[in-house]
A and B are shown apart, each in its own frame.
Chain A
């Protein structure tokens, strides 16, 4: 007998097909749950709407990341080429009207900063990388990348109750319902 303390993570329920998952997700959404997720082997069109997920804030991060890149590109070129060390090429002006020459670095740095913001913003929002996930304790969960569709409702959701949530999952067509516990 194990002496480690365990904490309830939540319920895991399997669904037969993508459309069953989709319909179940709409019902979980309507029941008012917030801390829950769907797991499917492939992306399902419109599932974000069925889950009631709001639009990600990431595009705003990327917009300001890109704008920072644009400004960096401009000031990098402007300060070095115009302010500190004016470089005269083919008698072209070394002032604000040199700006077309700066467009390539401005463009490139916009792309670079946007790309970095996408990657690191996404990782941060998804709280990745992480070493383990409580769902990995389930023996059936590995099928989520193969041929099974799951819904996991977390215990930290205020609507969660040991019996109520279980019966909800049964009602909406879930099978193999499993209580997932994580080691503390």
Chain B
């Protein structure tokens, strides 16, 4: 319980802005490190010898999708806040919006994944498609529906060369549709988060702030929530499930979503704790907010476990060859240890710790748990992308990778490099967004309700 009731006299009329020497220093360093490491990464992705290029493509995908889930999670929390008419979260809404506003910049890091030179190591189905398309009389556009769903002549080529699965999946898995979808993921969610953030920021300086923008944000968050669900689901299908075109799981989209919502909440918790530590948001964010955010962290820890186990359970039970390949690869050698570690590290331990209410009310302890959760998210995403690397490269480049077993030796350093490159970019764009406007919506009609929340 707050010591006294927060009134509008406690809220600065022009809000609080981030003017912090440490923050701007970190931003500068992160920006510089990102530029440098991205340059090195581009060399490793396109110029380096094939024995480096091929494993590094996986490193880049792993790092990209890890931070992609964090930023799209920021959009999720913004949308959920608006659409659920939430009062408690108004004080921390701007942090959610700022986290989501990194999303458009993630496209910069996605560009390498759009290049055939990188795709050839990641997505075998694309290589086969390109081989088919390079034949005579095979055109990308000469099929039904203006060729959008694959061309007839390409399908004939698949038939002749016994690519039955690719033939059947061509209506979804074809290059044209893949590019259209990936561009859609970025354009749609960019428009959504930009629009919502603009609406929110405009309120900060409005001399007559009313409820109009609040209701507008709520209305526009409804149908765009559907776009969000489509984006996270199919981005997970196209970028991660496509690593092995034979494999499929209908839980895949929601599995990635569970990790995304969980860990972006972890980022929000850490951000608010650091901002309060630096002397900001003291009036509007109380232990009650941390309690609520901690509860959401606990809820999504359970949700992640529920989804992850359901996916494993159905595949394990049904025992169908196409489906089990995913877990067979990840239950071989050291990956098995990591997977069992994930069961305890990602679920059992944080579940038991986060059950305690007093801990969730302590910003410091909750932030420690949030950092721990993020570390587990790294392990989770490492296990999603990296085990596929040695299996695929053995088949694609048998002369160079025929000898590898469960892991490509030395490729780990590439994973670290890619993670640091995109991670420093994430920090840079996040701090840039945090500094570009007020830290909380100081003229929102629900701000006092949020500041005095009790649960």
Nearest chain B CB to A3's CB is how many angstroms away? 50
- Given A45-B454, A63-B355, A103 contacting B313 (CB threshold 8 A): yes
Chain B, interface SS category: helix
Chain A, interface SS category: helix
Nearest chain A CB to B290's CB is how many angstroms away? 17
Query: A103 contacts B317, CB within 8 Å?
Result: no
- Find chain B residues with CB under 8 A from A46 CB: 1, 454
- Given A90-B319, A100-B313, A101-B317, A55 contacting B357 (CB threshold 8 A): yes
- Find chain B residues with CB under 8 A from A101 CB: 317
B interface size (C-beta, 8 A): 10
- Find chain A residues with CB under 8 A from B357 CB: 55, 59
With both beta carbons as reference points, the residue of chain B lying nearest to A55 in the complex is identified as B357
Within 8 A of B (CB), among A21-78: 45-46, 49-50, 55, 59, 63
Residues 353-387 of chain B: 1 if any A CB is under 8 Å from the residue's CB, otherwise 0? 00101000000000000000000000000000000
Within 8 A of B (CB), among A86-129: 90, 92, 100-101, 103
- Find chain B residues with CB under 8 A from A103 CB: 309, 313
With both beta carbons as reference points, the residue of chain B lying nearest to A63 in the complex is identified as B355
With both beta carbons as reference points, the residue of chain B lying nearest to A50 in the complex is identified as B1
With both beta carbons as reference points, the residue of chain B lying nearest to A49 in the complex is identified as B1
Nearest chain B CB to A59's CB is how many angstroms away? 8
- Flag whether B312 is at the interface (Cβ < 8 A): yes
Nearest chain B CB to A21's CB is how many angstroms away? 15
Residues 314-332 of chain B: 1 if any A CB is under 8 Å from the residue's CB, otherwise 0? 0011010000000000000
With both beta carbons as reference points, the residue of chain A lying nearest to B358 in the complex is identified as A55
- Find chain A residues with CB under 8 A from B309 CB: 100, 103
Query: B316 contacts A100, CB within 8 Å?
Result: yes
Task: Give CA–CA (A177, B284) in the complex, Å.
Answer: 40
A residues at B contact (CB < 8 Å): 45-46, 49-50, 55, 59, 63, 90, 92, 100-101, 103
Given contacts A46-B1, A100-B313, A103-B309, 7 further A-B contacts (CB under 8 A): A45-B454, A46-B454, A49-B1, A55-B357, A100-B312, A100-B316, A101-B317
